[in-house]
């Protein structure tokens, strides 16, 4: 809520007020009360501070915030296009193979017709009398249900009448047919006699795009609209009916089948990693007990020759089907990748046995059915993994730690997917892995690019001013120094050094410009190196003058640090004197002119930061301390100091007392100042230089 006086201002005045506070306060309008001006300043100051904080937050974390949603969106598009479906399905297969094998289901026995059986029968299809004999011997052991997974729509004499008689006297025998698409010739008719008795079910199997069986059918619809129970479902119903289990519509969803507490969630076309599959009929995900030969399996001749105990099949479900490799009834499951590589195909009769066992075990043993998450939950899972990738890349202390964190994250995702499958859930694994790694890579690239820009900004500003040691220190402190590629103005206590050559104007008049430039560069290069050797920064060269600073851009945090900077500045000046003496000696031998210089040093408060515009910027320092150092250098040019006269301020003297021989010049009024300044002159005698490595 604004103060009352603001609400009474003209509309145009209000607009200007919010655009530029400085202009407002200078407008030729009726003056606001002082307390009103103070409140207005505080209000706008807070508003600007908030905007600045938000702007800085966006600049520093904007890339991080955008990455996870962006990576998740890309994964969504790739996944929606179906490119990840086979990879995810193969990951599911891998989890099935890693899973501990379950014990055999004692309620189910398979009678497999193998190669040896075919040789003993002498033909295939087997004659009806041989099939009738097999069925009679099985029936004699009083099984609860018999499933004949053999297509038998034509007579195979001799013995057809005997087989028909068996059909008519065995109500718990279920034959098979296929629904498929009869217009394309996919349908296979059942035995006519069993069809008339209503003892036929559909043996259709659902293949995925890679030719594997991962889905099972409970019901399907024929071309004429008739709903047909699947082979496995019909056998399971017969068994469960004897156990008193009655099928019902689920309370969760009336379209779902429920047996006891088990709810059979119908598979939809985009469930799990599937993308737009044909989900016709009542499909569920298969929960295999294991690879081929997981169930008790007998051969046809074991039954015919009565090699099993008399009551071995009592109250069990018996499935009869082909297991011979020469018969085209072998399929790929999650436990084998192809018929020629990692294992033999699984017979169709064993696939049906797995589905029968799955239905019965869910109802009676509470064995989990495999379900998938909702799409929203899956995308939250993928997005969460992307966020973790961002966090790892942003906050891990080094790339090896990031790589280790990503590998650990991938292991966690795989472990979660594997554990979920054991508990009956099929959750995405490949998309979150891609989200984790993709976000980590994107953020790493983003940070590398950002760091490159920041390093370039730092080097552009400081590259010619400081030593690698100080540049590295500046780099580590860059987040506190840089904003949008500029160094923020910082108030600090530091020491400033000014040098100038004595009588250089006169010397320059007698030299050729080219010779003068070479001569001056030699001098400047030597002085600049002395500054850098003492951990100073070269602010600028002004003609024949050098401006340097000690204690910037990283401000001193203690009095001891300020004293160290001041001592480094004075030491630098003394070493400059020694260096100039050495240069003069050489120049004299070469017949060239010799030089002398003046140095002014001051310690105190100043402001350091970027100065300039978008096209050109320089790092510089400003403030009264800079002015004092400049005035000390130019003070009373008649005051002798030999080859190098060094004058320092009172504060510099206080921080360097006892370190350098110095004498008081007195309290003087420096040019442009209203208050007198106590100044001192530092000695540069030969003994001091030798003692201090000059």
Determine the average pLDDT of the residues in 189-215.
92
Determine the average pLDDT of the residues in 342-352.
82
Structural tokens at position 590: 């070469």
Rg from Cα positions in the chain: 46
With a pLDDT cut of 90, the percent of the chain lying above it is: 55
State residue 539's pLDDT score.
82
The three-state secondary structure class of 151 is coil
Structural tokens at position 190: 């059942």
State residue 671's pLDDT score.
81
d(CA 620, CA 494): 13
Q: Poorest-confidence range of 77-81, 353-357, 374-378, 506-510?
A: 506-510
> What are 132-180's pLDDT values in tens digits?
999 999 999 999 999 999 998 888 889 999 999 999 999 999 999 998 7
d(CA 669, CA 142): 124
d(CA 371, CA 557): 62
The residue among 523, 560, 561, 565 whose CA lies nearest residue 545 is 523
* The residue to which tokens 């013995």 are assigned: 159
* The residue to which tokens 């969106």 are assigned: 73
Q: Poorest-confidence range of 242-256, 326-340, 385-399?
A: 326-340
State residue 49's pLDDT score.
57
* 684 band by pLDDT with thresholds 50, 70 and 90: confident
Torsion of CA 157, 159, 163, 166, to 10 degrees: 180
State residue 120's pLDDT score.
92
What pairing do the DSSP bridges indicate for beta strands 145-149 and 425-426?
A: unpaired
Contact 558, 551 (CB under 8 A): no
What pairing do the DSSP bridges indicate for beta strands 490-501 and 545-550?
A: antiparallel
> What are 604-657's pLDDT values in tens digits?
999 887 665 555 556 678 889 999 999 999 888 888 888 999 999 999 999 998
With a pLDDT cut of 70, the percent of the chain lying above it is: 81
State residue 42's pLDDT score.
61
State residue 51's pLDDT score.
61
CA angle 139, 144, 146 (to 5 degrees): 60
Determine the average pLDDT of the residues in 1-27.
42
- Please check the confidence at residue 556 and state whether its pLDDT lies above 90: no
* 504 band by pLDDT with thresholds 50, 70 and 90: confident
State residue 141's pLDDT score.
95
pTM greater than 0.75: no
State residue 689's pLDDT score.
47
- Please check the confidence at residue 447 and state whether its pLDDT lies above 90: no
CA angle 361, 363, 367 (to 5 degrees): 45
The residue among 551, 526, 525, 555 whose CA lies nearest residue 537 is 551
Determine the average pLDDT of the residues in 11-36.
46
E runs forming strands in 502-536: none
Cα→Cα distances 560→466, 551, 564, 626, 631, Å: 22, 12, 6, 21, 26
The residue among 458, 448, 463 whose CA lies nearest residue 480 is 458
d(CA 336, CA 339): 7
State residue 563's pLDDT score.
93
Higher pLDDT: 134 or 8? It is 134
d(CA 113, CA 423): 35
Q: Poorest-confidence range of 24-33, 239-248, 407-416, 653-662?
A: 24-33
Mean of pLDDT over the chain: 84
> What are 567-595's pLDDT values in tens digits?
999 999 999 999 999 999 999 998 888 89
DSSP 8-state assignment for residue 182 = G
Q: Poorest-confidence range of 68-72, 73-77, 183-187, 689-693?
A: 689-693
Q: Compute how many other C-beta atoms are within 10 angstroms of the C-beta atom of residue 424.
A: 14
d(CA 300, CA 125): 13
Higher pLDDT: 619 or 480? It is 619
State residue 198's pLDDT score.
92
Higher pLDDT: 181 or 382? It is 382
State residue 639's pLDDT score.
85
- Produce one character per residue of 63-79: b if its CB has 16 or more CB atoms within 10 Å, e if not: bbeebbeebbeebbeeb
- Please check the confidence at residue 1 and state whether its pLDDT lies above 60: no
DSSP 8-state assignment for residue 134 = H
* 487 band by pLDDT with thresholds 50, 70 and 90: low
Structural tokens at position 305: 């020759």
State residue 3's pLDDT score.
40
Q: Poorest-confidence range of 50-59, 236-245, 273-282, 443-452?
A: 50-59
């Amino acid at each position: 809520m604004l103060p009352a006086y603001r609400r009474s201002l003209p509309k145009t005045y209000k607009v200007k007020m919010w655009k530029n506070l400085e202009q407002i306060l200078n407008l030729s309008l009726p003056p606001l009360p002082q307390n009103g001006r103070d409140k207005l300043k505080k209000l706008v100051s807070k508003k600007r501070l908030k905007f600045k904080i938000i702007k800085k937050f966006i600049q520093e974390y904007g890339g991080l915030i955008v990455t996870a949603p962006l990576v998740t969106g890309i994964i969504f598009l790739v996944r929606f296009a179906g490119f990840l479906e086979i990879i995810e399905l193969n990951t599911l297969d891998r989890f099935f193979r890693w899973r501990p094998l379950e014990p055999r289901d004692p309620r189910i026995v398979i009678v497999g017709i193998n190669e040896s059986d075919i040789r003993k029968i002498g033909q295939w299809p087997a004659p009806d009398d041989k099939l009738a004999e097999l069925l009679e011997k099985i029936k004699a052991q009083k099984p609860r249900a018999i499933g004949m997974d053999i297509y038998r729509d034509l007579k195979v004499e001799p013995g057809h009448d005997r087989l028909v008689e068996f059909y008519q006297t065995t109500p718990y025998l279920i034959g098979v047919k296929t629904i498929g698409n009869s217009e394309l010739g996919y349908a296979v008719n059942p035995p006519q006699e069993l069809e008339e008795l209503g003892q036929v079910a559909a043996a259709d199997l659902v293949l995925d795009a890679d030719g594997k069986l991962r889905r099972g059918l409970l019901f399907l619809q024929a071309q004429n609209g008739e709903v047909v129970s699947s082979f496995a479902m019909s056998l399971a119903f017969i068994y469960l009916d004897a156990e008193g289990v009655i099928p019902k519509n689920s309370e969760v969803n009336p379209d779902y089948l429920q047996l006891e507490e088990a709810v059979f969630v119908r598979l939809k076309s985009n469930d799990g990693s599937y993308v737009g599959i044909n989900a016709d009929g009542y499909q569920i995900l298969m929960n295999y007990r294991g690879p081929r030969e997981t169930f008790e399996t007998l051969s046809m001749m074991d039954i015919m020759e009565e090699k099993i105990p008399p009551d071995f099949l009592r109250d069990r479900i018996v499935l009869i089907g082909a297991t011979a490799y020469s018969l085209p009834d072998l399929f790929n499951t999650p436990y084998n990748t192809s018929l020629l590589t990692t294992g033999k195909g699984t017979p169709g009769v064993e696939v049906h046995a797995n589905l029968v066992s799955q239905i019965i075990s869910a109802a009676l043993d509470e064995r989990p059915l495999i379900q998938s998450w909702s799409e929203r939950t899956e995308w939250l899972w993928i997005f969460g993994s992307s966020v973790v990738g961002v966090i790892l890349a942003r906050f891990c202390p080094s790339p090896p730690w990031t790589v280790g964190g990503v590998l650990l994250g991938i292991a966690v995702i795989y472990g979660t997917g594997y554990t979920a499958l054991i508990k009956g859930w099929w959750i995405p694994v490949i998309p979150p892995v891609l989200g984790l790694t993709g976000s980590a890579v994107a953020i790493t690239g983003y940070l590398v690019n950002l760091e490159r820009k920041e390093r370039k900004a730092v080097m552009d500003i400081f590259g010619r001013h400081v030593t690698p040691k100080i540049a590295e220190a500046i780099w580590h402190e860059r987040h506190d120094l840089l904003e949008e590629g500029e160094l923020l103005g910082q108030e600090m206590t530091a020491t400033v050094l000014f040098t100038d050559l004595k009588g250089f104007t006169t010397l320059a008049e007698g030299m050729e410009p080219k010779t003068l430039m070479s001569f001056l560069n030699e001098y400047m290069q030597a002085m600049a190196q002395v500054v850098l050797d003492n951990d100073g920064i070269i602010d600028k060269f002004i003609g024949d003058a050098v401006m340097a600073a000690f204690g910037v851009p990283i401000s001193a945090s203690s009095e001891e640090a300020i004293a160290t900077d001041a001592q480094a500045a004075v030491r630098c000046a003394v070493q400059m004197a020694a260096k100039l003496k050495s240069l003069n000696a050489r120049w004299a031998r070469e017949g060239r002119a010799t030089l002398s210089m003046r140095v002014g040093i001051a310690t105190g408060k100043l402001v350091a930061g970027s100065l300039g515009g978008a096209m050109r910027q320089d790092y510089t320092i400003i403030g009264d301390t800079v002015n004092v150092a400049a005035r000390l250098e130019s003070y009373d040019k008649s005051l002798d100091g030999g080859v190098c006269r060094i004058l320092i301020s009172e504060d510099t003297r206080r921080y360097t007392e006892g370190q350098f021989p110095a004498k008081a010049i007195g309290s003087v009024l420096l040019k442009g100042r209203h208050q007198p300044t106590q100044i001192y002159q530092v000695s540069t005698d030969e003994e001091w230089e030798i003692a201090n490595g000059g």
